[in-house]
Amino acid sequence: MRRSLPVFVVAVAAVCVLAGFFEKPEGQSDAVTAFGRLPVLAEGRIKPLDSVARSTLLVIQGRQRVVVSDKPGADEITPDEWLLDVLFVPEKADTYPVFVVDNTDLLLLIGKDDESLAIHYNGVIANLLATSDVLPTRRRRMSFNEIAPYFSQIEAQEKLAEPVEAQTRTQFQSAVVQLYGNLSSYLRLKRALVPEGSKDFLTELLHLQESLADGVAAVRAKEAGQPHDEAKAAALIAEGQKFLQMGESTDLLAIPPDEGDTDLNAWHNAGHALLESFGNGYVNTSVLAYAGMSYAWRQDEPGSFAHIVQLYGSSLERRYEKQVHKARVETIFNAAEPFYSCMLVYLAAFFFAALSWLKWPETSRLSAWGLVALGWAVATLGIATRMWLEGRPPVTNLYSSALFIGWGSVALCLVLEATYKNAIGSAAAGVIGFITLMIAHHLSLAGDTLEMMRAVLDSNFWLATHVVVVTTGYAATFLSGMLAVIYILRGVFTRSLDKATADSLARMVYGIVCFATLFSFVGTTLGGIWADQSWGRFWGWDPKENGAMIIVIWNALILHARWGGLVRQRGLMCLAVFGNIVTSWSWFGTNMLGIGLHSYGFTEAAFWWLSAFVASQLLLIGVANLPLDKWRSFRPRSPGA
């Protein structure tokens, strides 16, 4: 029982996690899944249409699933199905509420207020939940059709707000810039494969194919000033203008180059690919294939849709074996959401670790440890997949730094737990793993997380050394802070912090601070060397550099204070908690200043969270400084207890 229960717990969790990799998205046909796997070039890299759909949805509505209307009990569709509707049945997609609008002034601009958006519940319980903010009290998401009448007002406000620097914009300005951007990216998708207003693009293209030779001859003759068929020439020129406009209004490069061309610059959007028809005398087959899918999807003919997707998919596979393979893996990765299941596993691990301090110490402790190991293995797999997809070291942007800080901290926790066997490592792992993945989730709302590296940062060697090492330093500093938080909370609020546990926590914090000092110093130094190689100065007092240097100095200060006997156990813990503030400042605060070479990861709502986090840590330090007889663990037990 003592041995088998932990194994059982971990096995159940593992099955749940693995199921994600094999399960297909609910209610989605195989043909739609195959469509989602088709590779396109967007934002500088080849990715599956599924990723285009998901990252667009995350940006415009903050979640991936789409509810087709506001009515209670309305159908849900998958990201791939949403994308199909946007591309091929836009009049239907225009009715889906997918644009998040929260700002009150912006709502007024589009003719809404709290009253018109209020959600009315039937039943006492639902109403009660709504008033206590558990259920939403008003609609947050609008459809394109609801917003479209106000487009010119939004555009005018955006023009006013856009020149203002991102950091100094008011909430209304940020909201209107955001909404305008969301509407534009939606429109760019809508016009990516089919021109605006076209109901049967396939027939139009087939007709073009037939009349192409005559039309081109007519236009040539016209240009040469010779007799020609005016109607044919005019029709062809009109087509050309339509394609030109189509090409100008999208940034989705869905049309691969001809066979054998591996240059990414040779990918085209549908409009530009069609313009080439006039030169080479035939309509691009990829555009035709997409037009065919459009026809079948519009006519609701699942059989022929599946057939066309399959044909086009296998023709791509012959030509771009590697890219198609990568796109397939990325689609599976998207649907499995490994970091989401990882988050739940960490949460369960924390639950078991905390339980072990109260009841069933050994069983709960082993379960927690097993779950942490499982979560860490899944995170490792997830990070490794991202690295393989991107061909980059693990940390390339703020999002991946959150993943990596969590991963590194949890790895250290596994070592701590293997050494001390008191569930503290697992508890810390559960909390840090959960929080960092939560942060990562919110950062992912900014768009594609596998984004391209800006020129300055485009160096795998330095990304692999400087960034990885300094991020490990962050992870270790956070971990020492987390251990100190456990010390304080357990000591003040429970009776569970006995002398042995307190001493081992103090040793853990000390050890991790040593580790953090080494890694943050080496990481910062490597950054200096990179800077010397790239910009000719070892140290430039850039905000991010300063932040990293403060972490190094802070860790050195903790060590010196301890060696000098200036602090004892409790003081050490307070200093370690303050390390959390120092690290969070360097990680996020410096980006909020919006200056310097490193300010690539701008975040807006993060400011509020950072302040709240700092306040909570200061509060903890305050709590830790309560007189010792207020600490439940250190209070002499009342006689007879």
Among the candidate windows 156-164, 195-203, 344-352, 586-594, which touches another protein by CB under 8 A?
A: 586-594
Q: CB–CB of 348/339 below 8 Å?
A: no
Cα 624 to Cα 89, 98, 476, 508, 571, distances in angstroms = 61, 46, 21, 18, 9
With CB under 8 A as the contact rule, the residue among 292, 313, 481, 547 that binds another protein is: 547
Which is closer to another protein, CB of 67 or CB of 553? 553
Among the candidate windows 90-98, 196-204, 228-236, 456-464, which touches another protein by CB under 8 A?
A: 456-464
With CB under 8 A as the contact rule, the residue among 22, 541, 637, 638 that binds another protein is: 541
- Smallest distance from the beta carbon of 162 to another protein, in angstroms? 15
With CB under 8 A as the contact rule, the residue among 360, 539, 609, 634 that binds another protein is: 539
Cβ-Cβ contacts under 8 Å for 191 (sequence gap 6 or more): 246, 249, 250
Which is closer to another protein, CB of 117 or CB of 457? 457
| DSSP three-state, residue 490 | helix
**CA-closest candidate to residue 445, choices 54, 58, 51, 50:** 58
Which is closer to another protein, CB of 344 or CB of 597? 597
| DSSP three-state, residue 77 | strand
| DSSP three-state, residue 459 | coil
| DSSP three-state, residue 39 | strand
With CB under 8 A as the contact rule, the residue among 99, 515, 587, 631 that binds another protein is: 515
Task: Give yes or no for residue 3 binding another protein (CB under 8 A).
Answer: no
Sign of the alpha-carbon dihedral angle for 597, 600, 602, 607: negative
Task: Give yes or no for residue 560 binding another protein (CB under 8 A).
Answer: yes
Task: Give yes or no for residue 41 binding another protein (CB under 8 A).
Answer: yes
Which is closer to another protein, CB of 13 or CB of 505? 505
Which is closer to another protein, CB of 347 or CB of 522? 522
Task: Give yes or no for residue 458 binding another protein (CB under 8 A).
Answer: yes
Among the candidate windows 175-183, 221-229, 330-338, 518-526, which touches another protein by CB under 8 A?
A: 518-526
CA distance 194 to 209: 16
Sign of the alpha-carbon dihedral angle for 353, 355, 356, 358: positive
Cβ-Cβ contacts under 8 Å for 607 (sequence gap 6 or more): 592
With CB under 8 A as the contact rule, the residue among 163, 197, 260, 536 that binds another protein is: 536
CA distance 462 to 637: 56
With CB under 8 A as the contact rule, the residue among 108, 595, 605, 612 that binds another protein is: 595
**CA-closest candidate to residue 470, choices 527, 392, 409, 511:** 527
Task: Give yes or no for residue 598 binding another protein (CB under 8 A).
Answer: no
Task: Give yes or no for residue 613 binding another protein (CB under 8 A).
Answer: no
Task: Give yes or no for residue 418 binding another protein (CB under 8 A).
Answer: no
Binding to another protein, residues 215-254 (CB under 8 A): 251-253
CA distance 9 to 16: 11
Task: Give yes or no for residue 549 binding another protein (CB under 8 A).
Answer: yes
Q: CB–CB of 477/583 below 8 Å?
A: yes
Among the candidate windows 24-32, 219-227, 396-404, 533-541, which touches another protein by CB under 8 A?
A: 533-541
CA distance 310 to 258: 19
Q: CB–CB of 232/218 below 8 Å?
A: yes
Binding residues vs another protein (CB under 8 A): 41-45, 251-253, 264-265, 267, 419, 451-452, 454-456, 458-459, 462, 507, 511, 514-515, 517-518, 521-522, 525, 528-530, 532-543, 546-547, 549-550, 553-554, 556-557, 560-561, 563-564, 566, 582, 585, 590, 593-596
